[in-house]
Amino acid sequence: MSMQLSDMRAHMPSLRHATAMAPISKGFSSDRKYLIYEDGITPVYVLRTAALDQIERKRREYETVCRIHGLGVRTSQPVAFGTAQALGCCYMVLRYVEGEDAAERLPLLSEDEQHRIGLEAGRELRLMHEMEAPAELASWSARRKEKHRRQWDHYLRCGVKLPEEEAIAAFIEQRLTLMDGRPNRFQHDDFHPANLLVQGGAYAAAIDFNRFDWGDPYHDFVKIAYFSREVSVPFSIGQIDGYFAGRVPHDFWDLYALYAALLMGGTITWTLQTVPDQLESMIARIRTVLDDHRRFASVEPLWYKQRG
């Protein structure tokens, strides 16, 4: 339902002093998002609302953001979580962080600035990954293998066919055991420039944790392959170098390439279901990933191997 300022003030106590609100239209989340003002030109809060049937998932998301913020990660400070039964929604209130969309800003900066922002992003991501998954959660390997089987089956029945389909499937099957024994840690799961903020040519914050998950920390680099390197190769190199303090471990690229391959089938079916008009551009991204890895003859992508 459409949110009115009077409804929000009446049913969300932490926003009773709000004087204006503006919807946020960016992103693919099903959440409704709003900037909240209190007699000023700069927003004070970000309000996210979701249907009541999502309350447990959204409560876990809010609690996780609280823990992430408590680690010292630069992100929106959590303010409140609650339900507005009369409005049919649950909600979270986050303090607004000033900054510009990194996906829009990075290409306008120098390569050195892009790389420095990437270094900071990598350090922040490593800090997030200090958080251990709940003890009762099944292993990352078991969960990710099951998800792959399900997604690949959906892909095979979706009507879209990649010419390299058999080679991709073979590459994955030969390497699935690489996930065995990998750690179960926090995953932002959508870590790329469109969910990062920059200000004054420097890294400012990470936002939008609504897709968070638990599993191998290296999986959080997979969005580099599909989104970040398209925006900025210097940023992407910086994120990797910052995370590993310039010493990339020998097993990283094997897992990075595996995760990039695992995403291909699911990316196509997700696009068909969610934004079918973007299928052509998503397939182009998959082609770029295949080119970067020379059809997976190389696990280290060319843009990193050939860095200056």
Using one digit for the tens of pLDDT, what is the confidence trace for 175-204? 999 999 999 999 999 999 999 999 999 999
Using one digit for the tens of pLDDT, what is the confidence trace for 116-160? 999 999 999 999 999 999 999 999 999 999 999 999 999 999 999
Report which of 33, 202, 16 is spatially closest to residue 118, judged by C-alpha positions: 202
pLDDT tier at 308 (50, 70, 90 boundaries)? low
Position 78 pLDDT exceeds 80: yes
Residue-level pLDDT at 4: 87
Region of 42 on the Ramachandran plot (φ > 0 left; ψ -120 to 50 alpha; else beta): beta
Mean pLDDT of 5-21: 94
Cα–Cα distance, 117 to 171 (Å, whole number):
33
Report which of 297, 259, 293 is spatially closest to residue 182, judged by C-alpha positions: 259
What does the domain layout of the chain look like in residue ranges?
5-95, 100-305
Cα–Cα distance, 90 to 85 (Å, whole number):
8
pLDDT tier at 3 (50, 70, 90 boundaries)? confident
Q: Which are the contacts of 253, defined by CB distance < 8 A and separation ≥ 6?
A: 299, 300
Mean pLDDT of 227-240: 98
Please name the fold of domain 100-305: Aminoglycoside 3'-phosphotransferase; Chain: A, domain 2 (3.90.1200)
CATH of 5-95, one of 3.40.1360.10, 3.30.200.20, 3.40.50.920, 3.30.230.10: 3.30.200.20
Query: Beta 100-101 vs 196-199: how paired, if at all?
Result: antiparallel
Residue-level pLDDT at 50: 95
List strand residue ranges (DSSP E) for 19-87, in order: 20-24, 32-37, 45-51, 78-84
Position 1 pLDDT exceeds 60: no
The pTM (predicted TM-score) of the whole model is 0.94
Phi, psi (5° rounding) for residue 18? -65, 140
